[in-house]
Amino acid sequence: MIKQIYVKHRHRYSLEEADLYKGEATFIIYDDYEELVYREADGIKVRVLIYPNQLTIIRSGELQSNLTFKENQKTMNLIKSPYGDIEIELFTYQYTSERGRIIVDYDILSSNEEKDGYHIEFSIEEGICEYN
């Protein structure tokens, strides 16, 4: 089914905000997870796999990433680019998935210290909707 989604993020420390995506996404319910699939303006395909205990965001294009978020846990993740692969470690402070809303707060770690941190929020609605 088609859903309207709004994806925004905020830097955890500078509080700078940005809209990542507004538009349609395909929403599929499987036995043990749900999936959102959409294409950003630059053509990059994004798959969001929503499990009860984790969120995985898979981006494909010139820069490919597979990021997994598990509340109160560190995860090792891979980013592939034409210049080589980069492993990054994430620590997820919060992962909430409820009807119509997904929230993830996390830090990117370097030598077990935070390097950067973000808050990502997905708002999901059926039909045509307006975003504020």
pLDDT of residue 79: 92
Cβ atoms of residues 125 and 3 within 8 Å: yes
CA distance 20 to 61: 16
Token code pair at residue 38: 């959409």
**Residue 113: predicted pLDDT:** 66
Distance CA 116, CA 43 (A): 26
- The pLDDT profile of the chain, 132 residues, written as one tens digit per residue, is 899 999 999 999 899 999 999 999 999 999 999 999 999 888 899 999 999 999 999 999 888 999 999 999 999 999 998 999 989 999 999 999 998 999 999 999 977 666 889 999 999 987 644 443
Question: Residue 129's pLDDT is what?
Answer: 45
| All structural domains of the chain with their residue ranges | 2-125
Quote the pLDDT of residue 43: 87
Cα–Cα distance measured from residue 108 to residue 90, given in angstroms and rounded to the nearest whole number: 5
Superfamily of structural domain 2-125? Calycin beta-barrel core domain (2.40.128.20)
Residue 23 tokens, joined: 């538009």
pTM for this entry: 0.88
